[in-house]
Amino acid sequence: MNPQIQAIAELDRVIHEPGRLMIAALLFAVEKADFLYLQHETGMNKGTLSSHLSRLEEAGYVEVVKTYRGKVPLTLLHLTGAGRKAFEQYRRKLKEAL
């Protein structure tokens, strides 16, 4: 098999989905972000964003922390060590494929 095609086949399918790729890229660039920031930056509705975050959390790539800012609920998110490593590998493999 062509090495470039093989690199595409080896891409992490959890991250490769466009919505999750946007989330991972945004979280890779910051220490942490809140749910509303991700919603604004991705243009996703709450349900879609929640679904993608759940998938990333199940994979161990994102940690979700629910807290409060005063009396207002606040959901903070960040990439775990495994999530950062997976995103870096994804970027490397994508570059190899292209």
> How many residues in the chain?
98
Residue 78 sits in which domain range?
3-97
> Angle between the 81-97 and 18-28 helix axes, to the nearest 10 degrees?
120
Q: Residue 18 sits in a domain of what CATH number?
A: 1.10.10.10
- Give CA–CA dist 97/17, Å, rounded: 16
Q: For the whole model, what pTM was predicted? A: 0.92
User: What's the number of domains the chain is made of?
Assistant: 1
98 residues of the chain, pLDDT tens digit each: 788 788 888 899 999 999 999 999 999 999 999 999 999 999 999 999 999 999 999 999 999 999 999 999 999 999 999 999 999 999 999 998 88
